Amino acid sequence: MKDSNFTLLDLKDPNTCLEGIWKHIPGHIRLTFVSAVILGLAAHLYAFTNKLPNLDDTLNLFGTTYGRGSGRWFLPIVMTWDGDYSMPWLIGMLSIFCIAVAASLTVQILRIRRPVACIIAAGILAAFPSTAETFSYTFSADSYFLSLALAAFGAYAAVSFRMRTNFIMGTLAITLSMGIYQSYFSVAAVLMVGALIFEVLEGNRKISALFLRGITMVGILSASMLLYFLMVRVSLPTGDLTPYMGISEMGHISIHEIPIRILMSYGKYYMTFWENDSMFHFGFLRYAFVLTAVCSVALLVWIIRKKRLASSYIALSVALMVIYPLAGDLIYVMAPHSPVYIRMIYGLCYILLAPLALVEFADRELGIGKAPLQSVASWVILLTMALTAYSYVIHCNKAYFKVDLSHQQCASYSIRLLERIEACEGYTDEIDVILIGSTGQDLINTTPKLGEIKLDGIYDFPQLRRSYTYDLYLRYYMGFPNPIQLGSSTAAIALEKTKEVSDMPVYPAAGSIQVVDGSLVVKLND
């Protein structure tokens, strides 16, 4: 390639075009992207190279129409890009690509430039436990992470593009993101607030201009929300969302509920970074988080004093810093009547990026290591965040390890059950098999260490067996050909009331599997 600026003429040759694009990407962006890919694989390769089912993934193993009733009108469209099957390796790599894009946009927005900070930020974003729970829903994981990338791009457009262009592009990107998965709206919000904080701390713009920037960002977020709900109305003939998990109540919140939900949002940070070490970090890191917070505040005060910011700038920056964690956890306000799972709180991890960005800001504005406070704060923050990223990688692998062992337990149980079914007198490969009740035996207790690994959505053995998709599990994973009806079916409920079934012992006792009224009945419990 000639040593010249990249122009439209270079589009004539694909190699020249791609090389030109790559060389024109700033070095810190390339480093962040590559780091997110490598650390993402370190965290999630276990899930990509094994099929680790849960109940929802079993239901959607070969395609789905899932989405519109949940307000995710764009999800059925984008879910076709991976071939429609729940294939972990392909979906995993597409997901990692989207996460890497989001990480690259994040460091650009928050002005994180130094190699070590870029690598740490990439690790946190690629391995935050929300990602592991999302990967337990393999069939939709890559689409959800596309939503993450779109949210980050929406924030980037709002922060970096010119007026009008930023409004249009930011609004469209965030709207599409919400049309896939609503929870990543908080990512766009927290990135905008973060960018504005550092613009205020720079002190280079008039307060009026900063307020205009803030109003524009709020306008983009508001327009995105309005356009999203408009598309919900268009995509649903009735305009009614499903009541499942409180989705139909999204955005419906009374005035008196707002303070309560805001407090719950802030409380989530305490739960995540102090109490839930089994899910999120090594237990000792909670004390490092406190030290990091102290160092960050001290560094911020030192920056403000050195830059001699006017009181108006100080007041605005403090207000934005109070809003910053709330913006990262808006799901509690957006969906006040919905249970909040770990996969929905990805925005929380951006609280960890703020200290990294603050260290970079101090180095950029005041010089590297100009004061002992700056040096100590930098070391504390970088070491704590590096250990946090490492702990996330460990916890993701522990979660997948649990799922793998749980699945093997489920498969072993199912094989024994099917052998008994096929050995029952009167069995044919066409007879209806009806499972009465569900297993009451929790075999996961045979490996109590697995119970120490806790992560929503990472379903263990008994949950997989007791689920409404166990019939599909027996068909897809065990290859059992017979029609199966679970305990909730009309036929099962009717048979359960008969004296013949009532007198049957519970599996695995002899006589717990019998042919009754032309169906093969398995009595799993009373």
- Asked whether the predicted pLDDT for residue 211 surpasses 80, the reply is yes
What share of the chain has pLDDT > 90, as a percent?
56
Tokens 């960002």 identify what position?
217
pLDDT at 102 over 90: yes
pLDDT of 270 > 50? The answer is yes
Residue 68 confidence (pLDDT) above 80: no
Does 399 have pLDDT greater than 80? yes
Higher pLDDT, 209 or 237: 209
pLDDT of residue 248: 45
| pLDDT for the residue 1 | 41
- Give the highest mean pLDDT range of 7-16, 186-195, 265-274, 409-418: 186-195
Interval 336-346 mean pLDDT = 82
Residues 484-497 have pLDDT tens digits of: 999 888 899 999 88
Span 150-209, pLDDT tens digits: 999 999 999 987 777 889 999 999 999 999 999 999 999 999 999 999 999 998 899 999
- The residue behind tokens 């519109």 is 68
Sheet holding 519-523, edge to edge: 484-485, 433-436, 519-523, 513-516
Q: Give the pLDDT confidence score for residue 2 in this predicted structure.
A: 45
In eight-state DSSP terms, residue 433 is E
Q: What are phi and psi of 475, to 5 degrees?
A: -75, -50
Instruction: Supply the DSSP symbol for 275.
Output: I
Task: Flag whether pLDDT at 443 surpasses 60.
Answer: no
DSSP β-ladder status, 513-516 and 519-523: antiparallel
Please state whether beta strands 519-523 and 484-485 pair in parallel, antiparallel, or not at all (unpaired).
unpaired
Question: Could you give the CA distance from residue 313 to residue 326 in angstroms, rounded to a whole number?
Answer: 20
Mean pLDDT of 336-347: 83
Q: Residues of the chain with pLDDT > 70: what percent?
A: 89
Q: Taking residues 455-481, what's their average pLDDT?
A: 76
Residue type at 81? Answer: W
The mean per-residue pLDDT over the stretch 212-216 comes to 93
The token duo for 239 is 């305009």
Burial environment of residue 24 by CB neighbours within 10 A (0 to 12, 13 to 18, 19 or more): exposed
Given this model, what pLDDT does residue 11 score?
61
